[in-house]
Chain A
Amino acid sequence: MHRKREYKSLNLINSMKKYFDIIVIGAGHAGVEASIAAEKTGCSVGLITMDKNAIGRMSCNPAIGGTAKGHLVREIDALGGVMGQIADKTGIQFKMLNTSKGPAVWSPRCQSDKNLYSAVAAEFIYEGKGIEVIQDLVKNLKVSEIKNKDGIYKYEIQGIETESGNEFDCKAVIITSGTFLNAVMHTGNSQVEGGRIGEKSATGLSECMMKLGFETGRLKTGTPPRLHYESIDFGVMEIQTGDADPQPFSYKTDKGNFPFQKQVDCYLTHTNELTHEILRTGFEDSPMFTGRIKGVGPRYCPSIEDKISRFSEKPRHQIFLEPETLEGDSIYMNGFSTSLPVEVQLKAARTIAGLQTVNILKQGYAVEYDFFPTHQINLSLETKLVSGLYTAGQINGTSGYEEAAAQGLMAGINASLKLKREEPLILKRSEAYIGVMIDDLINKCPEEPYRMFTSSAEYRLVLRQDNADQRLMHYGNKLGLIDNGMLGNLNSNIRLIKEGIEYFNSNTVSPKAVNEYLSAKSSSEISQNEFLSNIIKRNEVRLPELLDKEAFNENNLLMEIKKNKEVMNQIEIDLKYKGYIDRQNDQINQFVKNEEIRIPDDFKFRKIRSLSTEALEKLEKVKPNSIGQAMRISGVRPSDISAIMIYMRG
């Protein structure tokens, strides 16, 4: 984007203000992806953070991925984001979850050294020549009013002003403020302003946005105590090891040297009745139960006090102890998120097997922060009110590093596309978990922090972590985030997969060639020649084992397939689950048709008098841009959809 660069220098000469194409506010997981995506697609980026040492910091658990979140990381990677690469470089335990289930719900996860993670994230940022990191606090957004009649946007972003008095002009702003907007931390009766322990809160930005007309809300999240390694007796706990054959997240990671870090274990212990009894003594000082915390917390990530009060019949709860770093002392006490008084945290922790003499390095706490309900943004993550203003991550009411990173990436991509006057990249629910998440955010406007689950993806069977490249890499390549070599590789794999499937569908195998193998796998033997695909379909049969049989050694295609594990895996999944996958693809075809019926931006729902009141209210709030989207808005009924269609024809 040379045009933009020239523009920038022009700006510098005309005023003393500094110009960036895009300003990213916040350098967490969303901010990192947004900055890098924007920079790689040719934009100059100003990345403003309150603390230059906190780039890509893991505020909570020292892990990346997990069920559905692992899918997000693979998708970020396929699109050209960096989270997967950072996780691979810093991972100290890798595990594929759900391997006893079908391939669609396999999910990669790793424990990372949190200090290394942040350092590697910073390296990625500083590698980008077009990114300037500025340590400051944004106090104000500069906008100009748009005086057009269509009423889509009210303002256009012009730049920002900071606490230290700097002003920057820009074409787009991406806010990735995490838990920092007007953040208050709670432990017992104490309340401290700040978004993380020892870090301050960001004030001013929310107020400025509210003045522009944005609606705001409060959410809450929490984190458990960090424990002193030396004070723990791991001997009495259950060891949790990683996979023997660890798999990286990133398609870019060189498997030859992987894993790059020493691999370590985690430990499992449990709370007991005594723990619960002690925790209950702190309830009267709990900011949760006394109502001091107004924000809504996530139900899927409750505090330990919440668990024992809501599920009092459970005699014990799991506590995972996870090392935060390779060399350091700090152990993350997963499952024990709490905002009870520090003394209660310690006393309760010391009732747990292996923790009798434990010391707490950092207390658990709850944090409340501002978010902006997502009916105020479009599927591109741009706000409806201010052209060029994007929000991503916890400010949009999500929780989790992966959810944040995925949004940051999409905001970075779309801000950059907008500067080039191109259409935004909007992933469909049928294409990616990222599409599901953003669509849920906009159409369901969640009221608790949103986390990705595989069950939220109705087309789960085709949105697998193993085919993220096939689904998304072409987008990354088109954007310039994925190089041609990588796409070329993928395309030759896709070709091989297709040829392989055709071969297995049209070629038969003799009883002599396979019966020995079949009987070894307790699969019924065949009495006459059988199509290979029918053999591969069997539950007991594994394609790599089958291809190892002598009978297949002479065929060039099969030899080529045999050498390529990924291709073999794709072929096997495709053949084994064909019936289900075909059905899902049929559903997707229907779904896509409805997505393609566009509703104009300025469509006046109010004119349709047969809409129900609830539907009208929701439709005006969300302003869906397709019939498919309108159908997903809660409270909109099929008869409302008919009425909209009828009016659109008129």
Chain B
Amino acid sequence: MKNNLYDTIAAISTPAGEGGISVLRLSGENAFSLTEKVFSKDNSGIKKIDFQKTASHTIHFGYIFDNADITELIDEVLISVFKGPNSYTGENVVEISSHGGFYIAQKILSVLINTGARHAEPGEFTKRAFLNGRIDLSQAEAVADLIKAKTDSAHSSSIKQLEGALSEFAHKTRQEIINITSLVELELDFAEEGLEFVKADDIKAMITNLNSKLRRISESYIAGKVIRDGVNLVIAGKPNSGKSSLFNYLLNKNRAIVSSVAGTTRDYIEENIIINGVLFNLTDTAGLRSSDDEIESEGIRRSFSKIDEADMILYLTDSSEDEKFIEDDIANFENNFDKERSVLVFSKCDLKKVSSDKGTGVSLLNEETLENLKRLMSDKVKSAFIPFSKDEIVLTNIRHKFCLENVIRSLEEAITSVENKMSGEFISVDLRNALNHLGEITGEVTNDTILNNIFMNFCIGK
């Protein structure tokens, strides 16, 4: 049984892309208790809340923490509490409004999933709403179709290719886990067959080897996201450093033909551009502009969460300023920005050249400097986000990433079971869990397959 009807599900309810806020929804029996685990009314993580005791349809201000480490604060949020049956799904529902940006919302989502929620299937909230009698029959057929349609909805061809490769990979992985499980099971059901059994150390090596492959794929998610959604690019810098000019220049020259995700409300602050084949989302520049007057190192630190969401930052320093100013600004950049993801730009370099080799000079009047910058940007993306060769699998879907992480976790548990010298039936529990999680990607379930595999590969029958 793969996804069941009673567990607590979670998903980001606002469309992908940038916006002022993101809303994350949880529904199910444990929606309150799961949220309580990662939520606190104060930013030290101490003031806990009991949502069972709060009134329904109330909003609560507080902070979300990484559950693995309570000291890591993720975001300030507003939490809306709806008690079943008076909620959209008829179950206990929590809606978490976090600050804009998919990154933070995804971070919160993954924290909730690590805490015990399951990533919702397409249409699942609506499905539950129906099953709990919250919407009427006339909508039922539409829901059924929706669930069906979503699972085979069309994607762009490049993503389809990626997903094709993923499903092939998932099938291969599945076969590998089935092979390992068969080796473990063989000893249980066919102990007297005179077969040679594989040593525990070899089983462990097989699982470890497989798991390191899976980890690499799981880590490719960032790359996959970049391929699918584009690189979130933020132009930052002190007032009058030329951010708006560069923003407008990039927009005018490179406006992408692709439209943003269907259903997203287009906003002047989000634009897609393509540079050397890489999709960039120019975001939030307007927001940064309005706080220009306060941009000093302290201010930058405070707006870090915003910058954190960016996949890439262009930090502009005005070349025409005096040497001391430039020196401080470079230091500020170096102290506060992640080098992997950031490019230091000396703007207005037609007015004065900066002698430092820490950045690149750009002048809107000089086409060559702009081309340089663009090459630098696309190279940086390729080296930072796509360190994968063409034949490698890249994950583009967060649901797949979660499934894969569950597979990895189950395999880790299997390794622990082997290390603890547990008998095969215990190792098998973990391996079968891994297969079940993988089944959420491939849609396949198991039992008979293991026996079939044994019959195919081993001479059984005394």
Which residues of chain A have a CB within 8 Å of any CB of chain B? 67-68, 97-98, 100-102, 104-105, 298-302, 307, 310-311, 314, 317-318, 320, 334-335, 337, 444, 453-456, 458, 460-461, 539, 577, 580, 583-584, 590-591, 593-594, 608-610, 628, 631, 634, 637-639, 642-643, 645-647, 649-650
**20 contacts across the A-B interface (CB closer than 8 A):** A101-B425, A102-B422, A105-B424, A298-B461, A300-B460, A302-B460, A335-B461, A444-B448, A456-B447, A460-B428, A583-B429, A590-B6, A591-B1, A608-B144, A610-B141, A610-B148, A638-B121, A638-B443, A646-B130, A646-B143
Given contacts A102-B423, A610-B145, A639-B147, contact A594 B5 (CB under 8 A): yes
A365 to B145, CA, bound (A): 55
Does B57 belong to the interface (CB within 8 Å)?
A: no
Set B144, B443, B461: member contacting A610, Cβ < 8 A:
B144
Q: Report yes or no: A645 in contact with B459, Cβ–Cβ below 8 A.
A: no
* Beta-carbon contact of B425 and A105 below 8 Å: yes
Additional pairs, 17, CB under 8 Å, beyond known A318-B462, A593-B5, A628-B1: A101-B423, A299-B460, A300-B460, A307-B461, A334-B462, A454-B425, A455-B428, A455-B451, A456-B451, A458-B447, A590-B6, A590-B7, A608-B144, A639-B147, A646-B131, A649-B130, A649-B131
The closest CB in chain A to the CB of B151 belongs to: A639
- Chain B residues, CB < 8 A from A67: 188-192
Whole-angstrom CA separation of A315 from B169 in the bound complex: 36
Q: Does B137 contact A (CB under 8 A)?
A: yes
Asked whether B298 is an interface residue with its Cβ less than 8 Å from the other chain, the reply is: no
What residues of chain A lie closer than 8 Å to B462, measured between beta carbons? 318, 320, 334-335
| B contact residues around A100 at 8 Å (CB) | 423
Candidates A98, A307, A608; contact of B459 at CB < 8 Å:
A307
Q: Are B443 and A594 in contact (CB under 8 A)?
A: no
Closest-by-CB residue of B relative to A448 is: B455
The A/B interface has a contact count, at CB < 8 Å, of 138
Complex CA gap A455/B186 in Å reads: 9
B1 adjacent to A631 (CB under 8 Å) = yes
Complex contacts, B325 vs chain A, CB 8 Å: none
In the complex, the answer to whether A453 meets B191 with C-beta atoms within 8 Å is no
User: For residue A539, which residues in chain B have a CB less than 8 angstroms away from its CB?
Assistant: 420-421
Is B432 at the interface (CB under 8 A from chain A)? Answer: yes
* B350 contacts partner chain A, Cβ-Cβ < 8 Å: no
Q: Which of A68, A97, A593, A637 contacts B443 (CB 8 A)?
A: A637
| Chain B contacts to A: CB under 8 angstroms | 1-7, 121, 123, 127, 130-131, 133, 137, 140-141, 143-145, 147-148, 151, 185, 187-194, 420-426, 428-429, 432, 443, 447-448, 450-451, 455, 459-462
Are B461 and A453 within 8 A (Cβ)? Answer: no
Q: Which residue of chain A lies nearest to B421 when distances are taken between CB atoms in the complex?
A: A539
Could you tell me the distance between the alpha carbons of A570 and B194 in the complex, rounded to whole angstroms? 31
Taking a contact as CB atoms closer than 8 A, the residue among B137, B188, B420, B443 that contacts A101 in the complex is: B188
Choice from B4, B151, B426 contacting A593 with Cβ under 8 Å: B4
CB distance from B452 to the nearest CB of A (A): 8
State whether A453 touches B451 (Cβ < 8 A): yes
Q: Which of B188, B191, B429 is most buried by chain A, counting CB atoms within 10 A of its CB?
A: B188
CB contact between B188 and one of A105, A335, A458 (< 8 Å): that residue: A105
Which residues in B have their C-beta under 8 angstroms from that of A102? 422-426
Given A461-B425, A594-B1, A594-B5, CB of A646 within 8 Å of CB of B140: yes
Q: What chain A residues lie within 8 Å of B133 (beta carbons)?
A: 649
Complex alpha-carbon distance, A239 and B188, angstroms: 23
**Cβ–Cβ contact A593 & B460, under 8 A:** no
- CB of A98 within 8 A of CB of B130, answer no
The smallest beta-carbon distance between B122 and chain A, in angstroms, is 9
Q: In whole angstroms, how far apart are the Cα atoms of A450 and B381 in the complex?
A: 57
Contact of B148 among A314, A639, A650 (CB under 8 A): A639
Closest 7 CB pairs between A and B? A102-B423, A318-B194, A299-B455, A101-B423, A311-B459, A610-B144, A650-B137
Docked Cα-Cα span, A456 to B188, in Å, equals: 12
In the bound complex, residues from chain A placing their C-beta under 8 Å from that of B144 are 608, 610, 639, 642-643, 646
**B1, B143, B193, B424 pick with most chain A CB within 10 angstroms:** B1
- A314-B459, A334-B462, A649-B131 known; A97 and B141 CB under 8 Å? no
| A638 to B379 alpha-carbon distance, docked (Å) | 43
**Cα separation A35 to B7 with both chains bound (whole Å):** 45
Q: How far is the CA of A68 from the CA of B451 in the complex (A)?
A: 14
Chain A residues closer than 8 Å to B131, beta-carbon distance = 645-646, 649
Q: Write the nearest CB–CB distance from A443 to chain B, whole angstroms.
A: 11
**Contact A593–B6 (Cβ < 8 Å):** yes
Distance in angstroms between the alpha carbons of A650 and B145 in the assembled complex: 15
Contact partners of B420 in chain A: CB under 8 A: 539
Question: Given the complex, which residues of B lie within 8 Å of A302, measured CB to CB?
Answer: 459-461
Q: Verify A453–B189 contact, CB threshold 8 A.
A: yes
A644 nearest CB neighbor, chain B only: B144
Report Cα–Cα, A67/B346, bound state, in Å.
76
Q: Which of B127, B428, B459 has the largest count of A CB atoms less than 10 A from its CB? A: B459
CA distance A311 to B187 in the complex (A): 19
Measured in the bound complex, the distance between the Cα atoms of B432 and A647 in whole Å is: 32
How far apart are A586's CB and chain B's nearest CB, in angstroms? 11
**Contact status of A455 and B5, CB under 8 A, knowing A105-B423, A334-B462:** no
CB distance from A452 to the nearest CB of B (A): 9
Q: How far is the CA of A631 from the CA of B193 in the complex (A)?
A: 34
Are A101 and B424 also in contact (CB < 8 A) when A456-B451, A646-B130 are? yes
Q: Contact check, A455 vs B147: say whether CB atoms are below 8 A apart.
A: no
Taking each of A310, A444, A608, A642, which has the highest tally of chain B beta carbons within 10 Å of its own beta carbon? A642
Complex Cα distance, B462 from A649, in Å, reads: 51
Q: Whole-angstrom distance between the alpha carbons of A68 and B130 in the complex?
A: 42
Given contacts A314-B459, A646-B127, contact A98 B191 (CB under 8 A): yes
B4–A455 CB distance below 8 A: no
- Closest-CB distance, A336 to chain B (whole angstroms): 9
| Contact partners of B455 in chain A: CB under 8 A | 299-300
Which chain B residue has the least Cβ–Cβ distance from A302?
B461
**A650: which B residues are within 8 A, CB to CB?**
137, 140
Q: With contacts A335-B461, A646-B143, A647-B140 known, is A97 near B423, CB below 8 A?
A: no
Q: In whole angstroms, what is the CA distance A9 to B313 when docked?
A: 96
Residues of A within 8 A of B7 (CB): 590
Which B residues are CB-close (under 8 A) to A634? Answer: 448
- Cα distance A563–B447 in the bound complex, in angstroms: 41
- In the assembly, what is the distance between CA of A594 and CA of B131, in Å? 14
Contacts A101-B425, A301-B461, A593-B6: A455 and B140 contacting too (C-beta < 8 A)?
Answer: no
In the complex the two chains form, what is the Cα distance from A334 to B420 in whole Å?
Answer: 36
Nearest to B189 among chain A residues (CB) is A453
Chain A residues whose CB sits within 8 angstroms of the CB of B3 once the complex forms: 638
Within the complex, the shortest CB–CB distance from B444 to chain A, in Å, comes to: 10
Measured between beta carbons, the chain B residues less than 8 angstroms from A318 are 193-194, 462
Name the A residues within 8 Å of B1 (CB-CB): 590-591, 594, 628, 631
Q: Distance in Å from the Cβ of B295 to the closest Cβ of chain A?
A: 51
A580 touching B192 by the CB < 8 A rule? no
Within 8 Å CB of B141, what residues of A? 609-610
Of listed A444, A593, A646, residue having the most chain B CB within 10 A? A646
